[in-house]
Amino acid sequence: MQTTPIDVIDYDANGYDYREYWSGRDYELWAEQRVLRRLVPKLGRPAWFADFGGAFGRNAGHYLPRAAHAVIMDYSATNLRNAGERHAAEVATGRLHLVRADLYRIPFRDFAFDAGMVVRVLHHLSDVNRGLTEMSRTVGSRWLLDVPIKHHVLGLARGLRSGQLREVRSPDPVAMGVEEQFWNFRLGAVRERLGDLGWRTSLGASVNNFRQWEKVAPRANRLARPFVHGMEVVAQTWGKGWWGPSQFVVARRHDPAQPAYDRPGGHTADLPPELAGLARRVVCPVCMTRLNWTLDTATCIRCDHTYHRHGAFWDFVPPL
């Protein structure tokens, strides 16, 4: 399979540490944790779970207790190293695998996962349809998506003020940001795409409905916190589909798929059990062919690329 590479945001540039992004963002953190507590249980009890763009595993506490195995997939080596420290015990036992990968070229077989989630990532995908198609390919049953929309209440107000209401309401993604570009979408367009890919979607929650509050009035925010949290609780339900900038969508496959990847033996017969389950699911991201594994390398039997393990994570980003 040959596809044109698309630029991927580099979270490793200039010594950036994504963990620091969260300092002083108590309200957003609280709002997201609340919604994940409510919605992750809707994904059932998956045998294999994917956290697409899962970074340092900020959200792993929600799915690790429910999933037999999980994979954090991310392009950033720094984030994965930090995930390795944060979740060292789960990585050591093979309950959690850390995989460096590009979401446009995922090194996993079709329906390798029963369930997955993608939180705070879609705004980085300049070709969101391609990203959604590739992630969808690997998820067999249920999926939770955080969709950054452009037509939320503030977005509409801004569009009205600047005379750009038509762009805000159109189905096309819009590029935002000055120093760094990011993308916002029309929720209906993303749900339609998911429908084409075989998913039935429902609105889960409207999240970060008062995100600007923390920026505008950090001191007042402390005093008003109980009030703002109360408003967020109401808006998470009442604002589904229109109020806030992050709309969480729960997706279920019309025809759930559950391939029998866990039959023992074959090319993984000599691997320890904590690695064998991963090896049965991973393929070469360049040609989608199976790999020959050692404890530290995986080599494609077709195109000969060798992928390496670096400490806690496996690197499946193909060479340029």
Ligand X SMILES: C[S@@+](CC[C@H](N)C(=O)[O-])C[C@H]1O[C@@H](n2cnc3c(N)ncnc32)[C@H](O)[C@@H]1O
Residues that bind ligand X (CB under 6 A): 8-9, 11, 18, 53-55, 58-59, 74-76, 79, 102-104, 119-121, 124
Smallest distance from ligand X to CB 219, Å: 26
Smallest distance from ligand X to CB 231, Å: 22
Rg of the chain over CA atoms, in angstroms? 20
CB 317 within 8 A of CB 303: no
Instruction: Choose between 116 and 159: whose C-beta lies nearer to ligand X.
Output: 116
- Which 3 state secondary structure label does DSSP give 296? coil
Instruction: Choose between 124 and 142: whose C-beta lies nearer to ligand X.
Output: 124
Q: How many CB atoms lie within 10 A of CB 164?
A: 15
Instruction: Choose between 33 and 306: whose C-beta lies nearer to ligand X.
Output: 33
CB 263 within 8 A of CB 272: no
Instruction: Choose between 11 and 111: whose C-beta lies nearer to ligand X.
Output: 11
Instruction: Choose between 79 and 141: whose C-beta lies nearer to ligand X.
Output: 79
3-class SS string, 207-270: ECCCHHHHHHCHHHHHHHHHHHHHHHHHHHHHCCCCCCCEEEEEEEECCCCCCCCCCCCHHHCC
- Which 3 state secondary structure label does DSSP give 276? helix
Smallest distance from ligand X to CB 146, Å: 8
Reading phi first (left if > 0) and then psi (alpha if -120 to 50, else beta), residue 288 is in left
Smallest distance from ligand X to CB 204, Å: 15
* Distance in Å from the first CA to the final CA of the chain: 15
Smallest distance from ligand X to CB 106, Å: 9
Residue nearest to ligand X (CB): 53
Question: Distance between CA 216 and CA 23 in Å, rounded?
Answer: 16
CB 129 within 8 A of CB 193: yes
Smallest distance from ligand X to CB 14, Å: 14
- Which 3 state secondary structure label does DSSP give 288? coil
Instruction: Choose between 79 and 208: whose C-beta lies nearer to ligand X.
Output: 79
Instruction: Choose between 53 and 155: whose C-beta lies nearer to ligand X.
Output: 53
Smallest distance from ligand X to CB 130, Å: 10
- The bridge status of strand 174-176 relative to strand 182-184 is antiparallel
Instruction: Choose between 25 and 253: whose C-beta lies nearer to ligand X.
Output: 25
Smallest distance from ligand X to CB 207, Å: 11
Which contacts qualify for 86-92: CB closer than 8 Å, 24 or more apart?
86/56, 86/57, 86/60, 87/57, 87/60, 88/312, 90/60, 90/64, 91/312
